[in-house]
A and B are shown apart, each in its own frame.
Chain A
């Protein structure tokens, strides 16, 4: 099974088109104005998907697909979110209806199933439009639970712990409220392989080599956390690590809407690209305090604070890229750090403006490092030049992936 940027681009368009139709139908149903937020394609291991479900009450609707895509798709809401949607829906239908939020009774189950199914159909119709084909959908099935198991039960091909699955992630925003949900597609492998075969425009890379990506991301993230801990004395760990495939313009849009402290680098080698570390102001101050004990409290970060953060960024960048270089068995150099204390998005958009001249999409290695009991939130965006990345992966010896030791483990952060 091989894939290329063209095939992934088509999947991305499917996700966006599907989310658009789903949002439109939600508007139609509830009368609430909606808009599609960020859409991403994620590659996640089965283990991480299960971990993502966590211990939260969720409800979902599952259907079986046949035709151009065979497999299952699943729309999952946090229970609270589903309740909000249904309240809106029932209030629209009958303003006097007394809706009992606590019990998920028969009526709310059937309402959820209806909403879920209509949104599900929106997604699938969007995909069929993009693929110019027909996808058939089975009768919807209501699922609820606190772990992934009830949602995955009975699906022949859910990803095993180590399998990389392709996930469609979308957010639909409504006036005054945000309806977030996850959307999972578990295609049968043979069906996926023939679809990819059809969409591919170039030689492409073996799907299994994406393991290399994931291992790179893992090693890079681990190095960042380790370096941060060594340098600041603040005990940090990797909270989120994702490999996203997104259209370039999506990247600044997912940066928090506030003033942030960023340290940016360009890196050169196979692959080349840009690396940006983003800290919220509070975390940046905490870091300066930890690194420069005698620092004077001032509004900005001053010369001492700025150079401390640049220094931390510099060492984190070296760690991150060494992690990559190890997996790829190559050398990757990086520039001197650039410090920006400004709107967060403004520190990311120059990178996509630069890359946008030659590519429409990017693989983004998205990492969040957090500290135990102290403020240290750092988002890391590594955005690679597409052609270099494809080359790097093609050169990658799959056997080597297996040999590169994995030491990074997700840690639950203990709350003090």
Chain B
């Protein structure tokens, strides 16, 4: 049971762990820490200031045998649909929703990783957004470094922090 979200006094920022998603509005910040190959997907409606963040682990929930219904946040495709549905239920307007994504790095060059496990997450998210007609207006994906993201639905700001061997940086999408 997750009891955070809209209750007063809830921890801020709200942590969105792997396979989780959260919908919120206004100045509440949603945060996902230490993304490597996982993908942060932020959707928001600028008019209603309703938005959500998903921390997806795998690309394709429709193809998965188990558990995408119970944990929609686990897969890029089902996470996007679940975010949209919950935002619309809360009052967002479907046609105004925009998307930003960050993460999907390929940290390792292991043989078993093939073309890269992070890239598959990025591709799946882009395909699903296109299918649903949600414009992707910002992205910071790929590479071989980790990212921590903070998303504010009210402004649509997605702050991406990196901190690898070469440099630490903060950018804004």
A interacts with B? yes
Question: Which residues from chain A sit less than 8 Å from chain B, CB to CB?
Answer: 20-21, 23-24, 27, 33-36, 173, 175, 248-249, 252-253, 255, 257, 259, 264, 266, 268, 272, 274, 300-301, 306, 335, 338, 340-350, 352-354, 356-357, 360
Instruction: Give the chain B neighbours of A344 by CB distance below 8 A.
Output: 34
> Can you list 22 A-B pairs with a CB-CB distance of less than 8 A?
A20-B1, A23-B1, A23-B3, A24-B3, A27-B3, A175-B9, A175-B10, A253-B18, A266-B110, A300-B165, A301-B165, A335-B111, A342-B146, A342-B163, A342-B164, A343-B147, A344-B34, A345-B35, A350-B37, A350-B105, A352-B18, A352-B57
Contact stretch, chosen from B43-51, B84-92, B113-121, B125-133: B113-121
**B146-160 at interface with A (beta carbon < 8 Å):** 146-148
Instruction: Give the chain A neighbours of B2 by CB distance below 8 A.
Output: 35-36
Instruction: Give the chain B neighbours of A23 by CB distance below 8 A.
Output: 1, 3
Q: Which residue of B lies closest to A28 (CB)?
A: B3
Identify whether the interface residues of A are mostly helix, strand, loop, or mixed: mixed
User: How large, as a class, is the contact surface on chain B?
Assistant: 35 or more
Instruction: Give the chain B neighbours of A356 by CB distance below 8 A.
Output: 57-58, 74
Task: Tell me the minimal C-beta distance from A124 to chain B in angstroms.
Answer: 16
CA distance A352 to B107 in the complex (A): 12
Assess the A338–B1 pair: CB atoms within 8 A: no
Assess the A346–B3 pair: CB atoms within 8 A: no
Which residue of B37, B111, B145 is within 8 Å of A349 (Cβ)?
Answer: B37
* Known A33-B10, A346-B105, A353-B121: A249·B18 in contact at CB below 8 Å: yes
Q: Does B38 sit at the interface, judged by CB under 8 A?
A: yes
Q: Which residue of B lies closest to A259 (CB)?
A: B163
Assess the A346–B57 pair: CB atoms within 8 A: no
Assess the B57–A249 pair: CB atoms within 8 A: yes
Assess the A354–B112 pair: CB atoms within 8 A: yes
* Known A175-B10, A259-B163, A357-B58: A343·B67 in contact at CB below 8 Å: no
Instruction: Give the chain A neighbours of B35 by CB distance below 8 A.
Output: 343, 345-346, 349
Assess the A33–B4 pair: CB atoms within 8 A: yes
Q: Does B33 sit at the interface, judged by CB under 8 A?
A: yes
CA distance A343 to B149 in the complex (A): 12
Task: Tell me the minimal C-beta distance from A279 to chain B in angstroms.
Answer: 13
Assess the B57–A347 pair: CB atoms within 8 A: no
Assess the A338–B17 pair: CB atoms within 8 A: no
Identify whether the interface residues of B are mostly helix, strand, loop, or mixed: loop
Assess the A342–B145 pair: CB atoms within 8 A: yes
Instruction: Give the chain B neighbours of A248 by CB distance below 8 A.
Output: 57
CA distance A268 to B66 in the complex (A): 26
Which 4 A-B pairs have CB atoms at the shortest separation, nearest pair first?
A346-B146, A345-B34, A346-B36, A343-B34
CA distance A140 to B52 in the complex (A): 43
Q: Which residue of B lies closest to A175 (CB)?
A: B11
Task: Tell me the minimal C-beta distance from A370 to chain B in angstroms.
Answer: 23
Q: Does B169 sit at the interface, judged by CB under 8 A?
A: no
Q: Does B166 sit at the interface, judged by CB under 8 A?
A: yes
* Known A341-B165, A360-B67: A353·B146 in contact at CB below 8 Å: no
Instruction: Give the chain A neighbours of B17 by CB distance below 8 A.
Output: 249, 253
Starting from the known contacts A300-B166, A346-B35, 4 additional A-B residue pairs (CB-CB under 8 Å) come to A27-B3, A36-B1, A173-B11, A349-B57
CA distance A4 to B64 in the complex (A): 21
B92-119 near A? 1/0 per residue, CB < 8 Å: 0000000000000111111111000110
Q: Which residue of A lies closest to B165 (CB)?
A: A341
Instruction: Give the chain A neighbours of B165 by CB distance below 8 A.
Output: 300-301, 306, 341-342
CA distance A345 to B17 in the complex (A): 11
Task: Tell me the minimal C-beta distance from B27 to chain A in angstroms.
Answer: 18
Instruction: Give the chain B neighbours of A35 by CB distance below 8 A.
Output: 2-4, 11
Which residue of A27, A173, A255 is within 8 Å of B34 (Cβ)?
Answer: A255
Instruction: Give the chain A neighbours of B34 by CB distance below 8 A.
Output: 252, 255, 257, 343-346, 349
Task: Tell me the minimal C-beta distance from B102 to chain A in angstroms.
Answer: 12
Assess the A353–B58 pair: CB atoms within 8 A: yes
Q: Does B29 sit at the interface, judged by CB under 8 A?
A: no
Instruction: Give the chain B neighbours of A306 by CB distance below 8 A.
Output: 165
